[in-house]
Amino acid sequence: MRSVVHLSLAILAVFISPIFAHDKPSPVKVTGVFEAVQSAELSADTEQLSALEIEKIVPHGTSVKKGQVVISFSTDSIDEKIKKAQTALTLAKLAMDEAELDHSIAMTTNKLDLAAAERAFSAARQAHDNYVRVDHDRSIASTHFNLKSSEASLQNALEELKQLEQMYKEDELTEESEEIVLKRAKRSVESAQFRLEGAKTSAERSLKQSIPRAAKTADDTFARAELTWKKASHTLAAARRRAEIEIAQKRDDYQKQVDDFAKMQAERKGLVVKAPHDGILYHGTLTRGRMSEKATTLKKGSAVTGKQKLATVVNPARQRVLVDLTEADRGKVAVGQTCDIHSAAYGLTLKGRLTAVADIPYANNKFSAVVNVQGNASKVAPGTSASLSISGE
């Protein structure tokens, strides 16, 4: 009986095993690259000293310690540049002092010119007020007075002639001297009459022409003086504002030159690159954990820039694996899955766990994923390839 049961169970196992084997998903096979969790890109990090020449650089793949000098630069050309910058700064200081003096003189002259313009306008306004309040009416009164005086002169001459004629008529005989006096009196009357006619003509012209013209001229003169004052005020204010802007710009430019020179000197003092932490020095930079396909050629004498990334320090003590997933593989994996990580270069197999999977591709048919390495991977050089088998668990 017991044999029959065992036989039945064996037969059942034969039929059931393929079903369970079919339900268990196959591991996802992908490749990746070992990346150091701690890494730092190195450069001279200078702004003023933009053109540099490498004097010494630690060989690629060298183990370095925190604070160790890994790159140094030639200083001959830099010192020459600083010397020229010092001369340029000295000249700039002289030019700045001259500009400050010119600005001070210009501001003082501007104030004097504005005061002169205000005085000129004040004088014009006073002259106009004098004419309107006094001179205009005085001119009319003077014209009438002159005419009245001429009329009075004629009247006096006529009365004097009349008295003389009456006096000499009573004498019946007119002496020669009396004739002369009468002639003079008559001429005086004629002169007074002529002056009166001239006074009448002059008065008429003054009242109808000269005085109205003088009034108009006074108004125009004042209006022109006011316009001249307004223009002078505006022009001087604009010149003052322009001068302030220009001197402020010159001060900023000079201060920038001072700051740049101080920064250049500071950069000269610290012109070495040190390792920020323990690790391995790689020449060049890493892109998504990988080194360039072409080896860098940095060496003594290489020309570089102040902001150029020259090397990378990677710490192999803690690593992770960067993985590129295709669209098909992206749907088969999930955060938390375990995996086997194999390094062909070092013949090691490590355990890992998927900790991040991107929702958005960073390139065509490429999703980024991160696998944390469990265990000691310090023997594996960061930047080398890894083969991964991600399980369905």
Tell me, what DSSP letter sits at residue 39? E
> Over the range 215-225, which residues count as b (16 or more CB within 10 Å of their CB) and which as e?
eeebeeebeeb
3-state secondary structure of 228: helix
**pTM of this prediction?**
0.63
Identify the DSSP state of 390: E
User: What are the DSSP calls for 156-195, one per residue?
Assistant: HHHHHHHHHHHHHHHTSS--HHHHHHHHHHHHHHHHHHHH
The end-to-end CA distance of the chain, in Å, is 40
CA-based nearest residue to 357, from 386, 324, 392, 390: 324
Backbone torsions φ then ψ of 44, nearest 5 degrees: -70, -25
Phi and psi at residue 49, to the nearest 5°: -95, 80
- 82-266 CATH, one of 1.10.287, 3.40.50, 3.80.10, 2.60.40: 1.10.287
Q: Which pLDDT does position 340 carry in this prediction?
A: 95
Sequence-separated contacts (24+) of 361-364 with Cβ below 8 Å: 361/327
Hey, where are the domains in the chain? 24-75+272-390, 82-266
Phi, psi of 115 (to 5 degrees): -65, -40
The residue behind tokens 């999930």 is 334
- Round to whole Å and give the CA distance between 96 and 254: 7
For the domain 24-75+272-390, what is the CATH code? 2.40.30.170
pLDDT tens-place values along the chain, 393 residues long: 444 444 444 444 444 444 444 456 789 999 999 999 999 999 999 999 989 999 999 999 999 999 999 999 999 889 999 999 999 999 999 999 999 999 999 999 999 999 999 999 999 999 999 988 998 898 899 989 988 888 888 788 888 878 877 777 766 545 667 777 778 888 888 888 888 888 888 888 888 888 899 989 999 998 999 999 999 999 999 999 999 999 999 999 999 999 999 999 998 988 899 999 999 999 999 999 999 888 888 999 999 999 999 999 999 999 999 999 999 999 999 999 999 999 999 999 999 999 999 999 999 999 999 999 998 899 999 999 999 999 866
- Pairwise CA distance, residues 273 & 276, whole Å: 9
CA distance 352 to 339: 5
Residue 20 is predicted with a pLDDT of: 46
Q: What is the signed CA dihedral for 179, 185, 186, 190, rounded to 10 degrees?
A: 160
Q: What is the pLDDT of residue 393?
A: 60
Sheet strand arrangement including 272-274: 272-274, 69-73, 51-57, 303-305
